[in-house]
Structure 1
Amino acid sequence: MAARLASRTTFTITVLDSDRAPEMPDDTLQLRTTSLNSAAVKLLQDAGVMIHLSSHFLTDFNRLEAGSRDAPSALSFSADDIDLDRFGVFVENERLRHALWQTLTAMPQVTLISESRLSSLQRHDDHVDGLLDDGRALESRLIIGADGARSQVRHLAGISSHQRDYAQEAMIINVRLAESAGHTTWQIFTPSGPVALLPLHDRQASLIWYDSPGQVQKRMSMDDDALRLAIIEAFPARLGRIEAIIERGRFPIRRLHAQRYAGKRVALIGDAAHVIHPMAGQGINLGLADVVALADALEQESDPGNGHALSRYQRRQWPRNAAMLTGVEQLHHLFTLPFAPLRSLAERGLKGAERMSPVKRFMMSMATGQPLTTGKDHSRHDTRE
């Protein structure tokens, strides 16, 4: 958000980050990985961020597949179908964060304050007074809460949210494979939750395994050999041979949606506004879409805290994100139903979507983060409808 505004406006911007200033990661594979769709990549390019990311650590993906163990590629998408070279890239979170920090360091109108948080704020008609936890005071015309699911800004602004715990966790397992995973990312639905692969650089991959907290805890305590055997049993054969397990981690799966994204001289973006089930890989992409929408609303304003501008942002983004959160939640329920015949019906639905060009194009539009305008003749895909 700061990089976008700094590259397109004359606003003076202060960024508060509760973490330490990021350092350049070494070549070791980082645990958390981000999926950036093509719209997100363009946003970062326009803001000058991508030049700080080595291409070696960016892994293109040009094919998406989803299915069951019996039909692992029941639904498949190719970037070539919509005249794109790729759907997006995978990049490790810390590398992206470091690149963002480097970008902001070079922008004279941006002040970076690390290891600091807001402890209170007072909103007035024409400005906001903020007090930091180290005693410093700041005055601003707008506070943007981009501070995650447990947003302090959301709390201080008195904005309530609807939250839900899925009673499920995602286990992340970074592995090195005997052969490169290529440029296809795939997801297999199982009764306990999906298993997925994100291809990464140097024959490495990130495996995502959704399950109950108890099962995840058991796997976290396994030695590497036992975990490798468990992966072989649960993941499809297409995974191939695992040479090494590099690292593992876990995080809970939750849903959150703020009742509103804007208030008096306050706006929320990203996980501060909404937390989506990660099975669709859209969390950060929804947040970056918020960046574009809020920046568009503010760029022509002399006063960034203008209530009309913030209302435009609210009207544009809240319904879009609500629809995405609801759709992904329904997918989660559909594919984790305890009643096997209904799960089978859902799996057949994937195959049906594969044969329906309009459905596939809509889903690819969601995957890329942008409307699809292609000159290709798609009539050949419709012959079986």
Structure 2
Amino acid sequence: MTDTSTITSDIVIVGGGIAGLAMAARLAKRTAFTITVLDGDRTPEMPDETLQLRTTSLNSAALTLLEDAGVMAHLPARFLTDFNRLEAGSRNAPDALSFSAEDIDLARFGVFVENDRLRAALWQTLASLTQVTLISDARLSSFHHNDDHVDGLLDDGRALHTHLIIGADGARSQVRHLAGISSQQRDYAQEAMIINVRLTGSPGHTTWQIFTPSGPVALLPLHDRQASLIWYDRPGQIHKRMSMSDDTLRAAIIEAFPTRLGQIDTIIERGRFPIRRLHAQRYAGKRVVLIGDAAHVIHPMAGQGINLGLADVVSLAEALEHESDPGNDQALSRYQRRQWPRNAAMLTGVEQLHHLFTLPFAPLRTLAERGLRGADRMGPVKRFMMSLATGQPLTTGRGHSDHDTSS
């Protein structure tokens, strides 16, 4: 039976992933707007103790956002793993580039947390807020904008009336499509294999990445001697490894990963996903705006996908929080002028890094390794890269401001 009711709110957020839910939480904290979140999936539930497949890093700026919105109260500390050191290199120079949080007067760069736990915590936070309405199993079919509002239609027949639509519906964004916003996309002809393992010893609090001609291998330390291993390669190779027995896969990991990994006690779970790049030509249209993966998809080797999306959240909320009309063209333009160049620079930088370290010609890869060592010795370069990793304005040692990247 078709539902003919109308959903009315100041802002409608399409997409109930981490970025969309965080957007609702930030706006509810900082504004009086009524907010509806439309999510195409079922209502998320907090997972049991079992380690979930997908894990993300949250930098200190993202953590500040989530703490301010009350989300961290729904995430038990035992599921959060601090990381205070980042290292990158090659087999010959595994720590050619190394960052310590102490270098910029931080106790940690951030934490690793499972995506499903974070999403469930966000949903729980929003469920208690009277100005937020959560609707699951709902998809946007169409919309058209007027001078002062947007009318839309859901796939179940319900109508929509709002002043602003925020597209947070991922890389295949329906909002982006319906708004007529084009994007530049590229398939890297690579996949990432995620292998969750339990080690015989603690993985510590360092996350590291080793570049190889076929793609990086990386470790994300997790709780209870667990770790997430990321292995980038051609789809055919990933397909073969997905079908290996645990013992055969363990042997393949030992051969491909550096010895610092240590011994694997148990292979818990494995999965795969394609590697793509996407950047929307613009983030804002008339009474519509994009955030997160709907606006940009970055190569995951930088570990910045969620953090870029949460930076969008902060920037858009700041553009809207003093507006009486959330669909104000000037407010949306301010957001686009701020975020589009920042994200474009990050996407370009990570793409260049990917190309540099997957070069087929060995002497060129050697030059790339030397470049990492050079960056490690250059204080300003290191501090700038660490500011990107944390999402915080760059400071010199002992707290003196050197360069502000927040504007």
Same fold (TM over 0.5): yes
Q: 1:134 & 1:80 partners in 2: Cα distance?
A: 53
Q: Counterpart amino acid of 1:218? A: K
Q: Counterpart amino acid of 2:349? A: G
Q: CA RMSD in A?
A: 0.9
Residues 1:69 and 2:69 are matched in the alignment: no
Map 1:166-181 onto structure 2 (within 5 A). Answer: 166-181=188-203
Alpha-carbon shift at residue 26 of structure 1 (Å): 0.3
Map 1:327-338 onto structure 2 (within 5 A). Answer: 327-338=349-360
Q: Secondary structure at the match of 1:35?
A: strand
Q: 2:235 & 2:74 partners in 1: Cα distance?
A: 37
Q: Is the 8 A contact 2:356 2:368 kept in 1?
A: yes
Q: 2:154 & 2:222 partners in 1: Cα distance?
A: 39
Alpha-carbon shift at residue 274 of structure 1 (Å): 0.2
**Equivalent residue for 2:167, pick from 141, 145, 152:** 145
Instruction: Tell me the equivalent position of 1:121.
Output: 143
Q: 2:354 & 2:315 partners in 1: Cα distance?
A: 27
Instruction: Tell me the equivalent position of 2:294.
Output: 272
Q: Secondary structure at the match of 1:202?
A: coil
**Equivalent residue for 1:201, pick from 216, 219, 223:** 223
Map 1:92-131 onto structure 2 (within 5 A). Answer: 92-131=114-153
Q: 2:399 & 2:330 partners in 1: Cα distance?
A: 42
Instruction: Tell me the equivalent position of 1:369.
Output: 391
**Equivalent residue for 1:354, pick from 368, 376, 386:** 376
* Consecutive aligned runs of 4 or more in structure 1 exceeding 6 Å deviation: none
Alpha-carbon shift at residue 56 of structure 1 (Å): 0.3
Map 1:170-319 onto structure 2 (within 5 A). Answer: 170-319=192-341
**Equivalent residue for 1:11, pick from 30, 33, 37:** 33
Instruction: Tell me the equivalent position of 1:383.
Output: none
Alpha-carbon shift at residue 377 of structure 1 (Å): 8.7
Alpha-carbon shift at residue 70 of structure 1 (Å): 1.1
Aligned CA distance change for structure 1 residues 190 and 375 (closer, same or farther; 3 Å):
closer
Q: Counterpart amino acid of 2:141? A: S
Alpha-carbon shift at residue 89 of structure 1 (Å): 0.3
Aligned CA distance change for structure 1 residues 341 and 175 (closer, same or farther; 3 Å):
same
Q: Counterpart amino acid of 2:316? A: L
Q: Could you state the TM-score of these two structures normalised by the residue count of structure 2?
A: 0.92
Q: Secondary structure at the match of 1:115?
A: coil
Q: 2:307 & 2:331 partners in 1: Cα distance?
A: 22
Paired residues, number: 378
* Alignment deviations for residues 341-380 of structure 1 (CA, whole Å, 9 cap, x no partner): 00010011111111110010000000001112345299xx
- Long gaps (5+) in structure 2: 1-22, 401-407
Instruction: Tell me the equivalent position of 1:381.
Output: none
Q: Secondary structure at the match of 2:395?
A: coil
Q: 1:168 & 1:277 partners in 2: Cα distance?
A: 10
Q: Secondary structure at the match of 1:376?
A: helix
Q: 2:161 & 2:135 partners in 1: Cα distance?
A: 14
Q: 2:296 & 2:255 partners in 1: Cα distance?
A: 34
Alpha-carbon shift at residue 132 of structure 1 (Å): 0.7
Q: Secondary structure at the match of 2:394?
A: coil
* Alignment deviations for residues 181-204 of structure 1 (CA, whole Å, 9 cap, x no partner): 010000000000000000000000
Q: 1:139 & 1:94 partners in 2: Cα distance?
A: 30
Alpha-carbon shift at residue 250 of structure 1 (Å): 0.2
